Structure 1
């Protein structure tokens, strides 16, 4: 009788933990939010119109034909004494087939996505905790996002100092991109383990942790400067959402974010154009083809939206079943 009661109590506790985890899950909101915001960048990816540029200057031959033309495409880079030419928004707006028409707007848009999306996600989890009584900690997610923003600020400086020595291409760049994600995710796992250790930490340990964080940021920044050509916003979203998947302990969230990360790595390797070409999605001139111009964000954004919608439907179905 005692063993039966104990077994029943264990089953009841296990069921309670499952229901608590199900109620706590709220990752559908950041998936949908960042999916919509990712697709929202598509209009800003319109290429620069060389032919109708007001700054275009052409040299004509004796027969009146154009011999050569010179133009200055818009850029967010500027000269810094001692460092050379630095582009603080280059991780968001360079590396495409050609320069975009509005690089400043595109760079500021992605900064807004990262900062405002981060604040909205933290707010969502805290608001949701006040409603359901179970809170999902966003501390690690906040730390990862802040460190990631620090990396994106360091990358232009490191790129300016390192120059072409840090620029990788081909299979080397693709492999190094995977290493970048793996190193970042490893740092997140270490941080999560340290946060779970609990208890008071000595001053020496806090200093060592601080030095470890600084060293990790520098290493990741150097790797990012070597391999990250244009998808800084997508890459930081991938690391942040992978962190949320670990915190939520959700298999579905992890699968969605892994797919998002995979498409991001393909976009960073400039492989999306090949995929679209083979699928026959290149329709019309590139200047007006919104789908092709936004090829680097279409599939990552669609994956997040579909994953978020499925998660929301599953969440409501599970809650309705529990209430019934």
Structure 2
């Protein structure tokens, strides 16, 4: 494979000993995991994060397998034969029709500050421009990039190259599920809370999708994708008579089942301000605890119109890190 395809870089050319090369599959996963671990201290990475933690080689293999043409859309940086960084490209269409082309790079701290990170970014942008032309998405395509607030090096590079912050996510942790507050069990008349059975999966998906109807920067989420990743063991739902009024989609982390995640907490507009969100959240957290979780994580937008942040803090969640999302026009 020619890394220069689409105008990308074959080698950075700024310092001797550095080489950009394509991803080669299984032989690279351990070294890529070592890069992520090597970045963790400088970037203050939260190892238990459900947004972006420190992945194992097996998790990197899974993520790479999900890429479209990983050998063309993932590049590794070698220095004197050792892998010291890598960059990945993925893309999707958002609800408003925008095509987001996301690039994400990781470079060991000892190799920063010499222009290698800038060359990785240049490779990614060049490759994305090629993809946009090939896909025919130029009218609605934008560059996307992610960085934790604690990643000062990446943040500086993105801002210097014209990316702008468009929104951020905050991750919260409930460190000890044994400390859950008690719930008095009182619900409005006609409301019940219980497990989600297969006949309610479509209604559960629709409740979540509808909750994002007015939200910007959200990816399209089909019912088929929902079913493909469904692990309903700890899902909880609230019904008002025979209508589904809200859901808490909770799950155990596959690679660390001592950590639970509240993936979605959604209450239909007509059923809000009745205490259903709190009831669902506590019921879901209790279910996680009963299935072996010791702590729980979730993330939410910092500009949340429904003040869910207050709800999460009220049951014991505390802020961990902020994950900033950037955009930049492609300008083809």
Which of the pair has the greater relative contact order for Cα pairs under 8 Å at 6+ separation? Answer: 1
* TM-score, reference length from structure 2: 0.21
| More strand by percentage | 2
